[in-house]
Structure formats: C-alpha cells, structure tokens
Amino acid sequence: MNFIKMQGLGNDFIFIIDKEENYLKDEIEIAKKVCNRRFGIGADGLVIIRNSDIADAKMIIINSDGSKANMCGNAIRCFAKYLYEEGIVKKKNITIETGDGVKISELFINKDDKVDLVRVNMGKPSFKGVDIKLNNKDKLIDEVVEINNKRYKLTSLLMGVPHTILINNNNEYSMEDGKIIEKYDLFKENTNVNLVKIYNKESIEVRTWERGAGATLACGTGCCASLVALNKLGLCESKAKITTLGGNLIVEIVNDDVFMTGEATFICSGVVLN
C-alpha cells in the first residue's frame, strides 16, 4: 500500500489514494495501524482520496483512534496541495467534498509550480446546540460549567466539527483539562477543546486537545473556531494571526464565512509492508 505523509502546522497525516472505494477493505483498522507512532508510520490521522460526484475530489478523514471526522483544517490544506502537485487536479481553485459539505481551496502557486499557501473557505460556524450536539441545551456561550469540582467558562460552536473554547490568559488550564472537557456528558458526541491566550485583538495563541487524537501541535478548525468565538465575545477582530505550537495561520471572517490561510508540506512517501 503506497502512502505519502504530509503535515500542516505539525498536524501530520498519512495520505492514501482509493478513488474507486475498492482498495481499502477495513479503513478504520488501517488508520489505527498506520497512525500508530510505535508500530506504524505515525500520524494524527489517515486521509483517503476518493472520487466525488459533486467536487474535484472527496476527502475522508479518520483519526488515529479510528474515529471519523467530518472536517479538518490542516488536512484540507495538505489535501489541496497534494491534488495539485501530484497532478490529480491542476487548478488554482479546487473543490473538495468533505463530511461538512464542499469546501473551496484557493492555491497560491510560485514560479516553480509549487503551492506556497492554501486559503480555504471553511464555511459558516454555528452556535446552535442542536448542531454542536449539546444535551438539553440551546447554546453554550461564555457560560460557567463545573466538571469534577472545577469551574470552566466555556463557549462552544460547530466549525465543521464541534469545538469548545476556554480562555487561558493566565495559564491556569492545561491539556489535562481539555481531556476532561472533551468527554463531559454535556457533549453528546464529545468536543474538541481549545485553550486560547489573547495577545491583542489581532493576535491570539491556540492550543488544542483534539477529539479522537489528543493533544496536537495545531488544529485548523480549532483556530477558526477560536477566532469566531472571541469575535462574538468582542475580544478579537474579524481577522487575526493565530499562533500554534506548529506555526501560524491567518483566519478571517468575511460575510459570515470563515477563511483560513496557511502552509502545507510533504514529509515523505513509501510503502506499507504489512
């Protein structure tokens, strides 16, 4: 089984082509195997490239624990770069079918015909409890929640996948808090958790505990969700630089749509032997 490994801000993925959906017979077990950092290649997730009836290609994402994700911001930038540089789709604006609908990726291509940056329309966020899959709650915006005798002020929204934002200006929270919040019974299908530090209204830092993957160096949808939440609370402008452990993104809100711009990089290619 041939693969290519890519990363976006340190969020790494194994890419496999299965256009006709007849190559991978047990994709969940394959994802858990190849993503294992001791006994496999090692990655935060498996990304499968398939044909689409409504877009240039279809992106399937399976987290390292075998759970599926509707959307991933860092993966989709890698996906668009892969399609272009491997000659699968030679267009500067590529449409990609995801579990969260069709996303449009704009490629910034250099004189060597390589992709420097990818700008993705991530779509519209939602603060509705029914979309986030909250238990018996219409919304969760700047609200104190007590979990295991510890108080957290949380804001949750759907940005392709559910995200919960926790302001962490004084470093009072850690990834262990993210792990606890992820599985809190308020969230029917669990939640991603973002610890956010505000530098100023145009610059923030985001650390993410990802549902199904744990602590990662960066999360594209998490960065987008963090900007949207802070903007709604009046703490951030509609465009900001987002700093993560793996690098930086530019995120902006334009007419209620959220746009994310950042890099994507090839790491290696090879063959899975067994």
Query: Is 101 annotated as a binding-site member?
Result: no
211 is in an annotated binding site: yes
Burial 2-37 (b: 16+ CB within 10 A, else e): ebbbbbbbebbbbbbbbeeeeebeebeebbbbbbee
- Is 74 annotated to bind ligand? yes
Instruction: Answer yes or no: is 221 a known binding residue.
Output: yes
**Distance of alpha carbon 175 from its chain centroid, rounded?**
17
Does the annotation place 22 within a ligand binding site?
Answer: no
Show the beta-strand stretches assigned E in 133-177.
143-147, 150-159, 161-167
73 is in an annotated binding site: yes
Of 118, 122, 81, nearest to 101 by C-alpha is 122
Chain centroid, CA 171 distance in Å:
23
Give the relative orientation of helices 73-85 and 220-232 as an angle to the nearest 10 degrees.
130
3-state secondary structure at position 111? coil
135 labelled binding-site residue: no
| Residues labelled catalytic | 72, 219
- The annotated binding site for substrate is made up of 11, 63, 73-74, 192, 210-211, 220-221
- The annotated binding site is made up of 11, 63, 73-74, 192, 210-211, 220-221
